[in-house]
Structure 1
Amino acid sequence: MKIHLTSVFVDDQARAERFYTDVLGFVKKHDVPVGGQDRWLTVVSPDEPEGTELLLEPAAHPAAVTYRDALVADGIPLAQFAVDDVHAEYERLRGLGVGFTQEPTEMGPVTTAVFDDTCGNLIQIATEPQ
């Protein structure tokens, strides 16, 4: 068994697509209309094009909004992405205007930082020791 797909709830799929591709560097894998203005919109790591897909899912359901907003209010990231160097990625993303709620922080053997994805979520980046 392996994880094939996971999702983040987003306020605006077009804005999420721009942020996750242009800023974070993911690449679009699927973009299929599913009714109205909603799309089955997934992105993947350019390093693993056949790897786990991230669905940029519309936050249309009230429960999704309540859940996501409660996590943000408590400062809890919805997802975590692995990076080679949290400090370098933090500087790169800050240079692109990304707002962080947690600067790079050593947490035992792991270094993490948390940013706002501009679409309603907090996302954590992490580097494990090599």
Structure 2
Amino acid sequence: MRVTLISIPVRDQEKALKFYTEKLGFIKKKDVPLEGGNRWLTLVSKESQDGPELLLEPAPNHFEPSKVFQDALMDAGIPYTQFDVEDVQNEYDRLTNLGVVFSIKPTEMGTVKIAVFNDTCGNNIQLVEEL
């Protein structure tokens, strides 16, 4: 058994696609039109193009419990998911220069360094570097 797809709820798939590709550096893998103007829209990491896909899921627009959960996480400042990086400080500097807003600047916490940013689509995302 292995992970092949991870879903992240987004309020606007086109806005999310732009943010995740242009700012974070992911690559679009699948873009299949679905009913109601939605898409099966997946991305992959440049470093692992055959690895797990990230599905930009429009669930909050169509399923109220998803929207409530997403809002509750944002209100509490809890990240929806995390992405591992080689160097949190370098990613923080790069993303800050691209206009990404961080709620937590690079911070050491035991054996990791973290930072948390807003993906502009309803989620806090945590970056993690193992020390």
Instruction: Deviation per CA, 1:38-60: give whole Å up to 9, x if none.
Output: 00000000111110110000022
Q: 1:98 maps to what in 2?
A: 100
SS in 2 for 1:104: strand
SS in 1 for 2:34: strand
Q: 1:86 maps to what in 2?
A: 88
Give the superposition deviation at 1:7: 0.9
Alignment coverage as a number of residue pairs: 129
Q: 1:9 maps to what in 2?
A: 9
RMSD: 0.6
Instruction: Deviation per CA, 1:13-70: give whole Å up to 9, x if none.
Output: 0000000000000000100011121000000001111101100000221011100110
Matches within 5 A, 1:36-115: 36-58=36-58, 59-60=60-61, 61-115=63-117
Greater helix fraction, Structure 1 or Structure 2: 2
Which letter does structure 1 place at the counterpart of 2:70? R
TM-score (norm 2): 0.97
Which letter does structure 2 place at the counterpart of 1:3? V
Identity among equivalent positions (%) equals 53
Q: Return 5+ residue gaps in structure 2 as ranges.
A: none
Q: d(CA) in 1 for partners of 2:92 and 2:17?
A: 20
Q: d(CA) in 1 for partners of 2:93 and 2:44?
A: 22
TM-score (norm 1): 0.97
Give the superposition deviation at 1:2: 1.1
Q: d(CA) in 2 for partners of 1:72 and 1:117?
A: 11
Q: Return 5+ residue gaps in structure 1 as ranges.
A: none
